[in-house]
Structure 1
Amino acid sequence: MAGLEDLRKNWLRPFFFYGNNRISLIGGALTSASALVLIGFWVVDIFGHGGSANPYLGIIFDLVLPGVFIFGLVLIPLGMLLRQRQLKTAGQVPSIYPEIDLRDPVFRHGIDFVIVATFINFVIVGTATYRGVAYMDTPNFCGRTCHVMAPEASAYPVSNHAGVACTECHIAPGIPGFVHAKVNGTKQLMMVMSHNYPTPIMADDKLPAAKFTCLNCHNPARYIGDKLLVKTSYGDDEKNSMTRSLILLHVGGRDNFSRLSGIHGAHMGHIEYIATDSTHQTIPWVGKTNDDGSVTEFVSTDAKGPITGKKRVMDCIDCHNRAAHSFDTPEEVLNRDMSQGSPSASLPFIHKQGLLLLKADYKSQEDAASKIGSGLESFYRSQYPAIWNGQRAQIDQAAKTLSVIYSRNVFPFMKVTWGSHPDNIGHNNYPGCFRCHDGGHNAKGGKSITNDCSTCHNLIATDEPNPKQMADLGLQ
């Protein structure tokens, strides 16, 4: 009992006496409010209801709120020290500190202040935290606030996944995914703040497996069957000669009889691979698990020595690796935009000149916009003055379109240029399918991974001005 009485007289009484000042009371309110918000978040996180998987969530709950908590703790002794000095200077330090009594109006006023301030701070901090987390779940924060993500932010709005939040694809569910996201997000923030980030920024192995993300919305087993693709191309001649190619793509899937077919069906088994580069463009080893449980190993003839590395299970994103951030090649995007009317194919050599301007080196996107416009103007002024005088509006529109094409695909400050981000769908512009289906991945028994074109598609027409099949199908 003597020990409790000593604690009350020598510690608790002085603490409450000197702590009854605005600075200490504000510190106590800040500490209490941040502690309540943190505890509330931990409860939600543990029980897994309503929590956010935002990768920057760790910044708030691991850095900001603990910082507010510590700041409040620092204010408490700081206010007490200042009050003690003030009373000493005025000679008002009591020989016996007042009793701790709720009936004391001064003491009760201090307690009331802490309670009210804590409640107000809790509402403010809690609301700000919730709104901050909600904002950080938006593509606007991920792509616009962080300037180094400008390439991805530019490609996202024109992708098929423009309505999907960044966190839906980039963050795996559950505690492991949440912890990884917090650690990785905080690390990325530190890299940006210290200007120590890679250029360009590559996806590498950071994305979670498709079963945690893609399959929440997509069913790879759904039977799609065949899909007709029509590709329009323009020549580099004066008339920008137009041709079309028709491709019947065997997407396949699982039909009503549970039979697997096509591209999706062929890749729905358990397939593993080893890549020797971070972007998985070089794959020297592939392992396919057969129905009887045995594994057939395919080794590339280009492999030198034993193949080592991490075995990865093939899934959707090994082919659909640019699902939401696809960057075009200059040929593809120019052909596509010309087929939609701008640049106008009526402008002589616009395809050839457009490609030359798109592929030129520029210091910045602003520099590109200026030089693309002046380059097109100079060409038509000098080579086709009649076209320049008669089709000025079409030339200006062509310059704007070319500038937009460049601004969506090339970012000099991040060293993102044509081809920086390979797309594994197809095999015309990047290795893609040919990473494995190149005819050079062989098993010990002599079996090879097929490179028969008809397995995946049939070329119905190739670079024909007026394919008869299009007329037969009513497409022209």
Structure 2
Amino acid sequence: MLKAGSLRENWLRPFFFYGNNWLSLLGGAITTASAMVLVGFWVVSVVGHGGSSNPYLGILFDLLLPGVFVAGLVLILVGIFIRRSFLLSTDQVPSFFPEVSIHDPVFRRGLDIVVVATLMNFIIVGVGCYRGVAYMDTVSFCGATCHVMAPENAAYHVSSHAGIVCTECHVAPGTAGYVHAKVNGTKQLFMVLVDHYPKPIMADHKVPVASATCLHCHNPNAELGDKLVVSQSFADDATNTQTSSVTVLHIGGDDALGHLSGIHGAHSGKIEYVATDADDQTIPWVRKSNPDGSTTDFIASGAPAPNIAHPQVMDCIGCHNRAAHSFDTAQGALDKMMAQGSPSATLPFLHKEGLALLKTKYDSQGEAKARITSGLITFYRSQYPSVWDAQRPQIQNSANSLVRIYIDNIFPAMNVGWGTHPNNIGHTDSAGCFRCHDGNHTSKAGKTITNDCSVCHNLVVSNEPHPKLLTDLGMH
């Protein structure tokens, strides 16, 4: 056992003597400042988690700052080793080391340097960490800085949720959600750094349940009644014949008297399901909880018996799976843009040629931009020279609009093409409602999950050129 005097003379005095150099003093300041920031963060986390819930927070506080702390310690030891080696080589090692005392001017000067440097580093590291965390909470970090999220970032900016911070939907509140986000975010960063991440990146149940996210803003019991949906489409003929469809969606909900109606009302009870694929597109088993406490199991005919030990509970995300990151189909996107005026429906066969150019396979967005533009221009110059001479600006603007449609929806580098990300709202572009409402899911008692169209919507007008209804409503 070392005595106090021996410890002071043989260890502390040499340590402070050799450590009185600019490199060791800088290391001490860095170590102390990073330690103060870390302790402050740990206190906030334990006492109340009043800080950010950013999924990459763990990278900063669990990896980078501890690394800075260790780097400071290494600098202390390196500085001591260098000074000791120099003094030994020049025979300047004293016969006894100075006493460690605040009254020693040399020791006091070194202590002053450490204190000042620590305060400066604390301010720099603290402010840097705060600004770093604040930046990692922004959409630009999640969508733009992380280049692999380019498809989701493009879809987000044209969604109804544009402006909602990513962490509001992708990080569940509470300690469990916070820890999960930190671990998952750190893992994702390493996957990107080593270039070992999936292409395309699929959701695969990474979004927290609706009760922890969606229901903070949306009332699940609101009675929304019916919604009128008007859609425009264009034919592949010379005049790009425009037609309109009008659908009444029975969204419904839970009214003031507790009556359930419509799509939301039918799904507001407890419904469990088992999917056999990561995207929830194949659902062979559904269980509905009845008002009397009993349950009814529906199984798709011909499907093998699934493992129902861990079923998923259907919530908002079960149908609204692409609420903030929805991708169009080629025809859907083209029809919407043409209804807005560009690409121009005055150009002959624009819809047919534009759709063919959009569906062509390109190796990159750059190639798509060049070939779509040149392809449309070549078509009109060769097939309709008079149109090219008279409507050259409209053709160029239409080509630009086609390029925009492609760039907003197709990302060859991430293997994202038309239909890569299915949207479960409706059933025209992907299975959607028909995953369960296909008339093929039957209970033991012979009851089948309904596929009666009128339960969810009524098609009032179907592909009519000039619907009288829209004229009467002043919408045409």
Q: TM-score under structure 2 normalisation?
A: 0.98
- Structure 1 residue 472, shift from structure 2 partner: 2.3
**SS of aligned partner of 1:107:** helix
**SS of aligned partner of 2:251:** strand
User: Aligned AA for 2:154?
Assistant: S
- Structure 1 residue 50, shift from structure 2 partner: 2.5
Match of 2:132 in 1: 132
**SS of aligned partner of 2:3:** helix
How do 1:329-368 residues align onto structure 2 when only pairs under 5 Å count? 329-368=329-368
**CA displacement 1:321-349 (0-9 Å, x = unmatched):** 11111100011111100000001111101
In 2: Cα distance, 1:335 partner to 1:325 partner: 19
- Structure 1 residue 304, shift from structure 2 partner: 2.4
In 1: Cα distance, 2:305 partner to 2:79 partner: 70
User: Aligned AA for 2:284?
Assistant: P
In 2: Cα distance, 1:305 partner to 1:298 partner: 11
- Structure 1 residue 306, shift from structure 2 partner: 4.7
In 2: Cα distance, 1:306 partner to 1:315 partner: 21
Q: 1:54, 1:137 within 8 Å by CA — same for their partners in 2?
A: yes
Match of 1:475 in 2: 475
Match of 1:85 in 2: 85
How do 1:43-442 residues align onto structure 2 when only pairs under 5 Å count? 43-308=43-308, 310-442=310-442
In 1: Cα distance, 2:187 partner to 2:309 partner: 25
- Structure 1 residue 474, shift from structure 2 partner: 2.1
- Structure 1 residue 438, shift from structure 2 partner: 0.6
**CA displacement 1:368-404 (0-9 Å, x = unmatched):** 1111111111111111111110000000000000000
- Structure 1 residue 48, shift from structure 2 partner: 2.3
**CA displacement 1:408-448 (0-9 Å, x = unmatched):** 00011111000000000000010000000111111111111
Query: In 2 relative to 1, CA 305–270 (structure 1 residues): closer, same or farther, beyond 3 Å?
Result: closer
In 2: Cα distance, 1:301 partner to 1:309 partner: 20
**SS of aligned partner of 1:407:** helix
In 2: Cα distance, 1:34 partner to 1:463 partner: 66
Match of 2:449 in 1: 449
In 1: Cα distance, 2:406 partner to 2:48 partner: 44
In 2: Cα distance, 1:81 partner to 1:395 partner: 73
**SS of aligned partner of 2:169:** helix
In 1: Cα distance, 2:237 partner to 2:366 partner: 29
Instruction: Determine whether 1:32 maps to 2:32.
Output: yes
In 2: Cα distance, 1:320 partner to 1:262 partner: 16
In 1: Cα distance, 2:144 partner to 2:404 partner: 18
**CA displacement 1:165-196 (0-9 Å, x = unmatched):** 11111111111111111111111111111111
Q: 2:230, 2:246 within 8 Å by CA — same for their partners in 1?
A: yes
Q: 1:274, 1:309 within 8 Å by CA — same for their partners in 2?
A: no
In 2: Cα distance, 1:15 partner to 1:338 partner: 77
Return 429-438 or 9-18, whichever deviates more.
9-18
- Structure 1 residue 301, shift from structure 2 partner: 1.1
- Among the aligned pairs, what percent are the same residue? 61
User: Aligned AA for 2:137?
Assistant: D
Which ranges in structure 1 are unaligned for 5 or more consecutive residues? none
Q: 1:240, 1:350 within 8 Å by CA — same for their partners in 2?
A: yes
- Structure 1 residue 310, shift from structure 2 partner: 3.3
In 1: Cα distance, 2:304 partner to 2:49 partner: 51
In 1: Cα distance, 2:309 partner to 2:457 partner: 32
Match of 2:13 in 1: 13
User: Aligned AA for 1:207?
Assistant: V
In 2: Cα distance, 1:2 partner to 1:471 partner: 98
In 2: Cα distance, 1:304 partner to 1:274 partner: 12
User: Aligned AA for 2:323?
Assistant: A
In 2: Cα distance, 1:268 partner to 1:29 partner: 58
User: Aligned AA for 1:373?
Assistant: T
In 2: Cα distance, 1:407 partner to 1:296 partner: 46
In 2: Cα distance, 1:166 partner to 1:55 partner: 10
Q: TM-score under structure 1 normalisation?
A: 0.98
Q: How many residues align?
A: 476
**CA displacement 1:22-53 (0-9 Å, x = unmatched):** 11111111111111111111111112243111
- Structure 1 residue 291, shift from structure 2 partner: 1.2
Q: 1:284, 1:307 within 8 Å by CA — same for their partners in 2?
A: no
In 2: Cα distance, 1:145 partner to 1:327 partner: 21
**SS of aligned partner of 1:72:** helix
Q: 2:274, 2:306 within 8 Å by CA — same for their partners in 1?
A: no
**SS of aligned partner of 1:317:** helix
**CA displacement 1:248-278 (0-9 Å, x = unmatched):** 0001111121211111111111110000000
Q: 2:285, 2:306 within 8 Å by CA — same for their partners in 1?
A: no
In 1: Cα distance, 2:376 partner to 2:286 partner: 48
**SS of aligned partner of 1:158:** coil
In 2: Cα distance, 1:117 partner to 1:91 partner: 31
